[in-house]
Amino acid sequence: MNKLAELENKKKKINSENKTGIMSPTSSATNTTANSSVINVNNSYGNKNSSTKGSSLRAYQEFIYFRPIKESQVVSGPLSSHIYSRGGPNDYSELSYKLLKSESRLMRSTLESVGFSYTESHDWNLLWLCSSGKPYLYDGLNEYQKINHFPSSYEITRKDKLCLNVLKMQEKFGKRNYYIIPDTFLLPDEFADFFAEFHQAKNSEGRKPLWIVKPNASSRGKGIYLVDDINEIDLDDS
């Protein structure tokens, strides 16, 4: 109970400071300079030039600040291997990253421009995957190690899986509480339901409704197109 009371008092203190001049993520976003991108989390982190520096939030550790990379910083050649000997994280003077099944030249350029070095060893700080990782990758992770995919992340990154999971939440908690995506149909399996909804929307709105068609498991905008005619939909694709 004492711990709960302590956390509650801390929360009230932060809320009080927010009311007396600490910038919210929305307001501080407009303060970001053209050559610097800053991520704020829960109102606790601000721009390096933010007025929050003098507040009691000074003790929070700052994130790494990523700036737009210059043309001279873009990597184009093969990976330059930097293999560390085995040991604890305190043995290293540099941050290291590792790639699996991915070239990710943009990530390489961004990471190396702020001091990361590529490694093939198991003692990386950041592991970058192009898809969800195998369970063994998450076993025995150290505090200083991060992976860009959490287990089973495809359940929300695939469009079809996301739709099914949101529908499950709507059935459990009510559509009103989980109406976070537009009405979605998985084609071609649900074409009959989509056909009925398409014409109902057309009749109620008095004009052709606009629908967005997306591949169920693609990325970077590939294969997305808009339709206002149901005959334009390719039912050979999922």
Does the residue 126 lie in any domain? yes
Minimal CA–CA distance to 64: which of 123, 137, 115?
115
The confidence score (pLDDT) of residue 152 equals: 87
- Shared-domain flag, residues 39 and 101: no
- Shared-domain flag, residues 104 and 145: yes
Q: What are 159-214's pLDDT values in tens digits?
A: 999 999 999 999 999 999 999 988 899 999 999 999 999 999 888 888 888 999 99
The confidence score (pLDDT) of residue 16 equals: 64
Q: What are 53-89's pLDDT values in tens digits?
A: 444 444 444 566 667 778 888 887 777 655 444 444 4
Q: Specify the number of domains making up the chain.
A: 3
CA Rg value for the chain: 24
For 31-49, what is the mean pLDDT?
36
The confidence score (pLDDT) of residue 99 equals: 92
Does the residue 25 lie in any domain? yes
- Shared-domain flag, residues 103 and 42: no
Domain with 216 in it: 182-238
**Could you tell me the pLDDT band of residue 43, with boundaries at 50, 70 and 90?**
very low
**Could you tell me the pLDDT band of residue 2, with boundaries at 50, 70 and 90?**
low
Report the alpha-carbon distance of residue 31 to residue 33 in Å, rounded. Answer: 6
The confidence score (pLDDT) of residue 231 equals: 92
Note if the pTM is more than 0.85. no
- Shared-domain flag, residues 89 and 37: no
The confidence score (pLDDT) of residue 140 equals: 83
Q: Does residue 136 carry a pLDDT above 60?
A: yes
Q: How high is the mean pLDDT of the chain?
A: 75
Q: Does residue 48 carry a pLDDT above 70?
A: no
In terms of DSSP bridges, do strands 211-213 and 225-227 run parallel, antiparallel, or are they unpaired?
antiparallel
- Residue with more model confidence, 131 or 157: 157
